[in-house]
């Protein structure tokens, strides 16, 4: 934040006693400086100004339609709101900690512009339903902007998976060579994760899309308002059913943060793989200039900083989820000022995702795949041992447990001779299991291994291509 809370109280915002002009009727003196600074949210909630003004327009129109507000006052309010919005957008608007938050700033400026009619806008409304409204509207926009970015990341992963549906690499469990897979298959795992991430944000959007406006402070209002009309005007599915829940609920924000935390964990796993793959020891991929940096002392280095930061920023997002959960935990009904602390974690997470998601999209699109290195590595670590065991079951009718044992002995033998499994002679193999024939060598190659895994969702290139086609039609 570039702006600092002002140290002085704003003379315009009090009635000469130092008391706040918007709620200071029963306050004789002004707030202490530290009170103002702990109380003010303007230096972060100013981000809600568009939503705040949109909510006020809808509320104003409804008040006029219901005969609660005179048409001429409504007209003046709408005109004034346009001007306030223009000033904020142009950057000429003045902020002041004495006016606490965006709601009071907009209303105070409206008063300066149109006089007494401004004071009628808050009829049948409270800052409690107002802030709940603004925050939901803001988050809804944010989720709507995130979805295409996630789809873009999926699309790049799909494109790269299509290029590498046949590229063989080691598949790992425990980061130990397990069985050969294709690079396309590996990338498609993330397409699936991201699909579920998008689903979580969509679910969150669906649940948050109820309008709190008209709940007023907590109990509703005695004015004959039309909550259906304001809900409809603001693109909500319906008004929130319970006025207390409407002002007290922040599960929509927690749900967003939870979805963001899971997404960030997924991104951090992929980022970690990029870091590992780009190391000289693995050398599976090369990251270009766009997402790496050099070292000031070691001329040979190309550091995968963007991937490291995507990996690290998951910590921030998880922390923000934790922060809001702890703020909300144990709060009695309904609004408490604690809830003003809901915004910064959400803003920080939204800002973080606007960096991490496109950074990952860029890295996946840019990376060069070292196909030969991957394929050579795929055969290391006896990665086709399962293929050998399966062959013993299929061709010799051994029970799998026995086949597992025989294969283990063959791996031990190969280890002693410092060769891969296909480096053993037929005689070596037959010494362990007499029934083995020359045909076994066909399953020891990594390409055959991968091609044989044709089960639904398996790594065979034919399956990977089918998965890519299915994912493309889902997108």
Q: Which of 174, 222, 296, 455 is catalytic?
A: 174
CA distances from 130 to 52, 76, 127, 246, 256 (A): 7, 20, 5, 10, 20
Q: 122 or 404: whose CB is closer to ligand ARG?
A: 122
- Minimum Å distance from CB 130 to ligand ARG? 7
Please choose, from the candidates 268, 260, 190, the residue with its C-alpha nearest in 3D space to the C-alpha of residue 471. 190
- Minimum Å distance from CB 22 to ligand ARG? 10
- Minimum Å distance from CB 44 to ligand ARG? 9
Helices 127-163 and 343-366, packing angle to 10 deg: 10
Helix residue ranges, H only, 164-292: 183-208, 227-233, 243-248, 251-278
Report the C-alpha gap between 142 and 170 in whole angstroms.
38
Q: 40 or 150: whose CB is closer to ligand ARG?
A: 40
Q: Which of 126, 185, 186, 295 is catalytic?
A: 295
Q: 201 or 335: whose CB is closer to ligand ARG?
A: 335
E strands present in 34-128? none
Q: 127 or 164: whose CB is closer to ligand ARG?
A: 127
Q: 101 or 142: whose CB is closer to ligand ARG?
A: 101
Q: 24 or 381: whose CB is closer to ligand ARG?
A: 24
Q: Identify whether the C-beta of residue 32 lies closer than 8 Å to the C-beta of residue 98.
A: no
- Minimum Å distance from CB 128 to ligand ARG? 5
The helix/strand/coil state of 171 is strand
Q: What are the backbone dihedrals phi and psi of residue 238, each rounded to the nearest 5 degrees, phi first?
A: -170, 165
Q: What are the backbone dihedrals phi and psi of residue 258, each rounded to the nearest 5 degrees, phi first?
A: -65, -45
Report the C-alpha gap between 298 and 308 in whole angstroms.
18
- Minimum Å distance from CB 339 to ligand ARG? 5
Catalytic residue flag (residue 404) = no
Q: 93 or 172: whose CB is closer to ligand ARG?
A: 93
Q: 129 or 273: whose CB is closer to ligand ARG?
A: 129
Report the C-alpha gap between 204 and 353 in whole angstroms.
16
The helix/strand/coil state of 381 is coil
Report the C-alpha gap between 32 and 119 in whole angstroms.
26
- Contact residues toward ligand ARG (CB under 6 A) are 41, 45, 101, 127-128, 131, 335, 337, 339-340
Helices 251-278 and 343-366, packing angle to 10 deg: 30
- Minimum Å distance from CB 86 to ligand ARG? 23
Helices (H) and strands (E) in the chain, counts: 18, 6
- Minimum Å distance from CB 237 to ligand ARG? 24
- Minimum Å distance from CB 132 to ligand ARG? 9
Report the C-alpha gap between 275 and 150 in whole angstroms.
21
Report the C-alpha gap between 107 and 116 in whole angstroms.
11
Q: Could you give the dihedral angle defined by the CA atoms of residues 67, 73, 74 and 80, in that order, rounded to the nearest 10 degrees?
A: -170
Catalytic residue flag (residue 243) = no
The DSSP bridge partners found for residue 169 are: 181
Query: What amino acid positions are annotated as catalytic residues?
Result: 174, 295
């Amino acid at each position: 934040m570039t702006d600092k809370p002002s140290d002085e109280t704003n003379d315009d915002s009090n009635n000469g006693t130092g008391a706040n002009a918007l709620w200071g009727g029963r306050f004789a003196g002004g707030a202490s400086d530290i009170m103002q600074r702990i109380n003010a949210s303007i230096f972060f909630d100013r981000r809600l100004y568009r939503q705040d003004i949109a909510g006020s327009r809808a509320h104003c129109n409804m008040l006029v339609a219901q005969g609660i507000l005179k048409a001429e006052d409504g007209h003046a309010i709408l005109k004034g709101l346009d001007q306030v919005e223009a000033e904020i957008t142009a950057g000429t608007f003045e902020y002041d900690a004495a006016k606490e938050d965006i709601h009071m700033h907009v209303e105070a400026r409206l008063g300066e512009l149109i006089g007494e009619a401004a004071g009628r806008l808050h009829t049948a409304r409270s800052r409690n339903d107002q802030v709940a409204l603004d925050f939901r509207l803001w988050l809804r926009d944010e989720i709507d902007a995130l979805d295409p970015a996630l789809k873009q990341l999926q699309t790049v992963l799909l494109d790269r998976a299509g290029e590498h549906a046949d590229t063989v690499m080691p598949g790992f469990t425990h980061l130990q060579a397990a069985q050969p897979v294709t690079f396309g298959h590996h990338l498609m795992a993330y397409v699936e994760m991201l699909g579920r991430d998008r689903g979580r944000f969509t679910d969150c959007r669906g649940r948050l899309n109820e309008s709190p406006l008209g709940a007023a402070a907590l109990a509703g209002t005695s004015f004959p308002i039309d909550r259906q009309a304001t809900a409809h005007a603001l693109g909500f599915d319906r008004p929130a059913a319970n006025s207390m829940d409407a002002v007290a609920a922040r599960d929509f924000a927690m749900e967003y943060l939870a979805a963001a935390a899971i997404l960030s964990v997924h991104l951090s796993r992929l980022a970690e793989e990029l870091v590992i793959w780009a190391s000289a020891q693995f050398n599976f991929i090369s990251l270009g200039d766009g997402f790496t940096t050099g070292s000031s002392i070691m001329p040979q280095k190309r550091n995968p900083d963007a991937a490291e930061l995507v990996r690290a920023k998951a910590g921030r997002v998880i922390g923000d989820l934790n922060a809001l959960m702890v703020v909300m935990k144990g709060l009695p009904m309904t609004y408490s000022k604690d809830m003003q602390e809901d915004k910064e974690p959400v803003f920080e997470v939204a800002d973080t995702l606007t960096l991490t998601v496109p950074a990952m999209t860029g890295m996946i699109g840019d990376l060069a795949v070292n196909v030969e290195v991957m394929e050579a590595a795929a055969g290391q670590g006896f990665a086709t041992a399962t293929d050998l065991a399966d062959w013993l079951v299929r061709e010799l009718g051994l029970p799998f447990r026995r086949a597992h044992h025989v294969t283990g002995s063959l791996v031990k033998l190969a280890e002693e001779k410092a060769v891969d499994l296909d480096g053993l002679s037929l005689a070596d193999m037959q010494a362990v299991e007499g029934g083995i024939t020359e045909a076994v060598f066909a399953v020891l190659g990594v390409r055959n291994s991968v091609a044989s895994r044709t089960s639904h969702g398996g790594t065979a290139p034919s399956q990977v291509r089918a998965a890519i086609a299915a994912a493309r039609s889902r997108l």
